[in-house]
Amino acid sequence: MEWETVIGLEVHVSLSTKSKLFSGSSTEFGAQPNTQASIFDCALPGTLPVFNEEALRMAVRFGVAIGAEIGKRSVFDRKNYFYPDLPKGYQVTQLDFPTVGKGALTVTLADGSEKIIGVTRAHIEENAGKSLHEEFSGMSGIDLNRAGEPLLEIVSEPEITCAEEAVAYLKKLHTIIRYLDISDAIMAQGSMRCDVNVSIRPKGATELGTRAEIKNINSFRFVEKAIHSEVARQQEILEDGGRIIQETRRYNADKDETSSMRSKEVANDYRYFPEPDLLPVVIDDEYIAAVTAQLPELPDARKARFIEDYSLSNYDAGVLVSSRELAEYYEIVATASGDSKLAANWVSQDLLGLLNKHNWEIADSPIQAVRLATLIARIKDNTISGKIAKTVFESMISDESDVDAIIESKGLKQVTDSGEIEKLVLEVIEKNPAQVQQYKDGKEQVIGFLVGQCMQLSKGKANPAQVNELLREKMQ
């Protein structure tokens, strides 16, 4: 039987406010345990929440960025369950009236096609603290620094049909969030987390199959692998005549498989009800307009502009706008070097290759945009060849001196002196009589070999165009 997969994603993003969602405690990463846990965060009796305006603004900013309906009246609810890292015994979240309603993202797939994936909603809620399982005489330690930090939970429509689409959706979400500057969205640090709902059904069926929820996946690659392994598991069960149980599972990367999480509650019953300590959050058109006016240029718009202004291919533009920092870097290189296409090649291939190899961010790059622009300018003005430029680029990684100084000190400057080039050409003609004869007999392509010999002799420094021209002249 042929199967089709239905995937829905729930993504939790830590909003990068300075203080917590409902208290004035710092949200700074990495503080000593419980030093950022106020009397409210510790749920002391009598304490009350007051809503952080910046968390609201960030959520609305996300909403307008994905063209979503904005909840003009959002309501907080209590979600009740007991857990030591949940001090109040309930999490404040938004159930029926979230701040962000229906919206959509456009993702580009590997084959260049585009797909629109719906976002059902995005709601604001509190994070929980952390349970530490190291030994404390057989007990667990609770750190409440993270408790009460603001989260935006973004829920997709079940419109994703494969792992590739899921990853494309996540990456797009990540890009937009970073452009909006509302979260670090670093999966490895937990500031972006993903729960994946997976179900399969016979191809063409209209009803959804029973889903399994894979919790807390912390990298794009694991999302992809977890989906593959979960789909395979479900397929095997169904083909053996079995039944899928609706449950929560976790992905084990070492074994590359998902496994059932022992259910903490006999049956979860969260007993949601409107949070009486908070009133409805009401925003008007003016507020939404002000947030919209402050939106930065978003990836889709920037991509279109890059194609238009810099004559880039759809693919190159897509790569360059995939992160805000990369796009900004590229624009500096393109403008300062005066050659946007050459700049695109260097940024998307050489620079990204370098960063990926060392697992560096743009900010960590030893080669700043202006230096790379100078290097490209030197190719354009024939100071160096494209090939020599690669050598210079390598040197620039460890050598902070300016590009011209590196070219000078290593003697890499292109030879354009016609006397010197003539000497090279004559030497090569003399050493390769057979090839010269072939050329003279009309075997035009031999010229490539001869140019190569000249370049080798000059250690790459000769201007290849000049060499080519002179060779033809001398062999006539």
Binding residues for other proteins (CB under 8 A): 17-19, 23-26, 32-39, 42-56, 78, 80, 82-85, 87-90, 131-133, 136-144, 261-262, 264, 266, 269, 271-274, 276-282
Nearer to other proteins, 26 or 292 (CB): 26
**Cα-based distances in Å from 180 to 15, 72, 119, 247:** 11, 21, 17, 34
List, in sequence order, every beta strand (DSSP E) within 203-357: 212-217, 247-252, 257-260, 273-274, 281-282
Question: Where is 101: in which H helix or E strand?
Answer: none
Identify the CA nearest to 171 among candidates 4, 389, 326: 326
Q: Whose Cβ is closer to other proteins: residue 33's or residue 190's?
A: 33
User: Whose Cβ is closer to other proteins: residue 53's or residue 417's?
Assistant: 53
- Torsion, CA 464, CA 468, CA 470, CA 473, rounded to 10: -170
Given the complex with other proteins, which of 142 and 388 has the nearer CB atom? Answer: 142
At closest approach, how far in Å is the CB of 61 from other proteins?
A: 13
Q: How far is the CB of 22 from other proteins (least distance, A)?
A: 8
Q: Which is nearer to other proteins, 48 or 363 (CB)?
A: 48
Return the number of the residue (53 or 239) whose C-beta is nearest other proteins.
53
Asked if 66 contacts 39 with a C-beta cutoff of 8 angstroms, the reply is: no
Which pair of tokens denotes residue 450? Answer: 């001869």
- Residue whose CB is less far from other proteins, 53 or 473: 53
Closest contact distance (angstroms) between CB of 267 and other proteins is 8
- The H-or-E segment that residue 48 falls in is none
Q: Which of 152, 242, 237, 246 is nearest to 198 (CA)?
A: 246
Please give the torsion angle defined by the CA atoms of residues 97, 98, 99 and 105, in that order, rounded to the nearest 10 degrees: -130
* CA dihedral sign of residues 454, 458, 459, 463: negative
Question: Which residue shows structure tokens 């890499």?
Answer: 412
The SS3 of residue 98 is: coil
Provide DSSP, 394-410: HHHHH--S-HHHHHHHT
Q: Quick check: helix, strand or coil at residue 421?
A: helix
Provide the minimum distance between the beta carbon of 253 and other proteins in the complex, in angstroms, as a whole number. Answer: 17
| Minimum distance from residue 351 beta carbon to other proteins (Å) | 35
Please report how close the Cβ of residue 103 comes to other proteins at its closest, in angstroms: 23
Residue with Cβ nearer other proteins (24 or 448): 24
- d(CA 321, CA 261) in angstroms, rounded, equals 38
Residue with tokens 């998902």: 258
8-state DSSP, 17: -
- Minimal distance, residue 248 CB to other proteins, in Å: 10
Q: Which is nearer to other proteins, 135 or 444 (CB)?
A: 135
Rounded to a whole number of angstroms, the minimum distance from the CB of residue 177 to other proteins is: 18
Minimum Å gap between C-beta 98 and other proteins is 15
Q: Are strands 212-217 and 192-202 parallel, antiparallel or unpaired?
A: antiparallel
